[in-house]
Structure 1
Amino acid sequence: MSRSRRLLEACAEPMERAVAMRFAEEVRTGVVGDQAYADYLAIEASFVETAARLHGLAVWDAPGRLAMERNARAVHALTTEQTAYFGAAQAAWPVQARPDAARRAAILSQFALASAREGGYPAVMTVLFAAESLYLTWCTRAFREGRVPPGPVADWVAMHTAKPFRDGVDALAHEVDALPAGVPDELLTRWFAGMLGAEIAFHDAVYT
């Protein structure tokens, strides 16, 4: 069994809790409120900047050319397709985010950056693999059920089920598989599960 698969199995319980978080369920069932999604657009745009910075750090620390290219493609996607989405969605959305939305949801960036400082490249790959695996899982469920509200919400869900995103998750899995054996599985599990916990708190912030 690959290391990334072992990690997913070890963190199956926190993953299921994250997939079932209130925001994901409201998107899946088509009942997410205008204010909650407005706040989400603000906080997610902020975290996408953090993710781009983390992938940029990973380009510098990449162990080889393939890893460098994988992380460079991720930076490009985050700073082009996803950035364009937020601009268009925020302009089209009927209400604006509350002024303190990003501050209330800072926990996700804080955890990811603290992990990167602690563990460098292995930590960056692990926390991003956790975040992107979560999004692939809950958005795939939502997309298949077909109850997601049309417009920006449906566009966002579809983006996280499309082939380029799936390829990005696979690339992260390959990087986790290639991490040095000297980095213990227990440490990867702590980073991965901790990121999922931070994701739950991050998304719950749109309701506080």
Structure 2
Amino acid sequence: MQMNPHMTQQTHSARLLASATDVWQAMQAHRFVVDIERDQLPAEAFARYLSYEGRFVETAMAIFGYALVKADTIAHKHWLIGVLNALSTEQVPYFERTLAALNLPAAHDDAPLPAAVAAFDSGMLEIARNGTYEEVIVSMLAAEWMYGTWCTRADQTPSRNPFVREWVALHAEPTFLSQVQWLKDQVDGWSEQRFDFARSSAIFRKVLALEIDFHSACYAALTLS
């Protein structure tokens, strides 16, 4: 079978995105995203999100920790140490400060989670624990590229809620976007032999599907008109 010459010119990350257009668009148009863009996110949904996402930051640190251990060059390890530092010095304090300001309970590892939230947490951690370095990078590219895209868009019309506004801004600032670009550069820099498209595409799609269910859980049991 003759190869399409345009396919060979696509970057690996572009191929991944093209293979997941349906779930990517579903997440970009998710109710949670739209509500933030329209500045109408229900307070209870935001409170639920804070409790779920605050827990996941700790999981994200573990995921990048696995990537650090599996990284094959000192340069990659240095970058991943920086990612871990940003998570611990920027995102963890955000949740501690915001939960306290809103009189919400601090996140606890033993608190029960909705099934969709637990599935996201365990699914991401399983990829990091059992997967290759490449699979960990692809999984985090899916999550962080998705966040960077919609938050950059939402940041153009900031929310009146200062805590929502700050959270969006954290994912639209140069530091975070450079992290997304680093992940893309990692994937795009792999040889055809190193890049397992079928496996990578499956992981990319899985992460986005998990993200959709995760964000939908924030609306569970809400009574809205």
TM-score, structure 1 as length reference: 0.91
| C-alpha RMSD over aligned residues | 2.1
- Aligned partner of 1:14 in structure 2 is 23
TM-superposed CA distance for 1:149, in Å, is 2.7
TM-superposed CA distance for 1:9, in Å, is 2.4
Distance 2:24 2:160 in 1: 24
TM-superposed CA distance for 1:166, in Å, is 0.5
Is 1:148 the counterpart of 2:159? The answer is yes
- Aligned partner of 2:217 in structure 1 is 205
Is 1:176 the counterpart of 2:210? The answer is no
How many matched pairs? 207
Identify the range of structure 1 (22-31 vs 176-185) with the bigger mean alpha-carbon deviation. Answer: 176-185
Equivalent position to 1:185, from 181, 185, 197: 197
TM-superposed CA distance for 1:147, in Å, is 4.9
Gaps of 5+ in 1: none
Distance 1:81 1:91 in 2: 16
Percent identical: 32
How does 1:63-78 map onto structure 2 within 5 Å?
A: 63-78=72-87
Distance 1:102 1:82 in 2: 22
C-alpha distance 179-48 of structure 1, shift in aligned 2 (>3 A) = farther
Gaps of 5+ in 2: 1-9, 221-225
C-alpha distance 97-21 of structure 1, shift in aligned 2 (>3 A) = farther
Distance 1:61 1:95 in 2: 37
- Aligned partner of 1:163 in structure 2 is 174
C-alpha distance 158-102 of structure 1, shift in aligned 2 (>3 A) = farther
User: Do 2:139 and 2:207's aligned partners in 1 also have CA atoms closer than 8 Å?
Assistant: yes
- The aligned amino acid for 2:171 is H
- Aligned partner of 2:100 in structure 1 is 91
TM-superposed CA distance for 1:62, in Å, is 0.5
- The aligned amino acid for 1:178 is G
User: Do 1:38 and 1:96's aligned partners in 2 also have CA atoms closer than 8 Å?
Assistant: no
Distance 2:160 2:146 in 1: 20
Distance 2:83 2:103 in 1: 30
User: Do 1:34 and 1:95's aligned partners in 2 also have CA atoms closer than 8 Å?
Assistant: no
TM-superposed CA distance for 1:150, in Å, is 3.0
User: Do 2:100 and 2:106's aligned partners in 1 also have CA atoms closer than 8 Å?
Assistant: no
C-alpha distance 102-183 of structure 1, shift in aligned 2 (>3 A) = farther
Write the deviation string for residues 130-161 of structure 1: whole angstroms up to 9, x where unpaired. 000110111111112x1523310000011111
TM-superposed CA distance for 1:97, in Å, is 8.5
Write the deviation string for residues 2-43 of structure 1: whole angstroms up to 9, x where unpaired. 212221222222111111111111111111111111111111
C-alpha distance 115-95 of structure 1, shift in aligned 2 (>3 A) = closer
Is 1:47 the counterpart of 2:49? The answer is no
- Aligned partner of 1:133 in structure 2 is 145
TM-superposed CA distance for 1:94, in Å, is 5.7
- Aligned partner of 1:5 in structure 2 is 14
Write the deviation string for residues 141-184 of structure 1: whole angstroms up to 9, x where unpaired. 1112x152331000001111100001110111122223452442
C-alpha distance 101-34 of structure 1, shift in aligned 2 (>3 A) = farther
Q: In structure 2, the residue corresponding to 1:166 is in which secondary structure? A: helix
Distance 2:142 2:111 in 1: 23
